[in-house]
A = this chain, B = another copy of it.
């Protein structure tokens, strides 16, 4: 299984906001100045990626691959051996390093890498796109050799880049639920604890 977090609200503060230095866009801190940005409500939510990665990377029986696709179209590979900080502040610093230098750690074997892939390159068929409006309900028979896409943004629709890839819409709940709850559901069903 390849799990891809989609349209993730993960980026450095963009130049038009006139911030000094490198800092991660975070709606908790930049709410006012963000509202001038295009599609601001999909951006600046590193906490969504943080929680989801914490769950995936610490789940003892998980054996899939992990990619993070960002709002601005980057594709980040995350090695399953990565141990990320529990602290949001430290996670954000790590991501600033990653986006600035293209990999972390910057010396030695990298564990997270900004690849030169486009989303299209890392999605294999069948591609299950998690969406609360999906007709098909997720169940353990759908686990296996699939690409699984989960939105990692606050609200709004998937980007054209995502929707242009052939997909089956799958839901885990009729309610709108958090990204980390979709991850929890998939982990429970496809990678039962031992």
Considering only residues 154-194 of chain A, those with a C-beta below 8 Å from chain B are 172-175, 177-178, 180-181, 184-185, 187-188, 193-194
Q: Does any Cβ of B come within 8 Å of A87's Cβ?
A: yes
- Scoring A90, A180, A184, A185 by chain B CB atoms within 10 A of each residue's CB, the highest score goes to A184
Considering only residues 60-103 of chain A, those with a C-beta below 8 Å from chain B are 60, 86-90
Number of copies of this protein chain within its complex: 2
The residue from B54, B55, B89 contacting A88, defined by CB atoms under 8 A apart: B89
Q: Does any Cβ of B come within 8 Å of A47's Cβ?
A: yes
A58–B177 touching, CB < 8 Å: yes
A28–B58 touching, CB < 8 Å: no
Q: Does any Cβ of B come within 8 Å of A41's Cβ?
A: no
Minimum CB–CB distance from A80 to chain B (whole Å) comes to 15
A185–B185 touching, CB < 8 Å: no
Residue of B nearest to A86 (CB): B47
A175–B193 touching, CB < 8 Å: yes
CA distance A31 to B55 in the complex (A): 24
Residue of B nearest to A154 (CB): B86
User: Which residues of the other chain, B, contact A173 by a CB distance below 8 angstroms?
Assistant: 60, 193-194
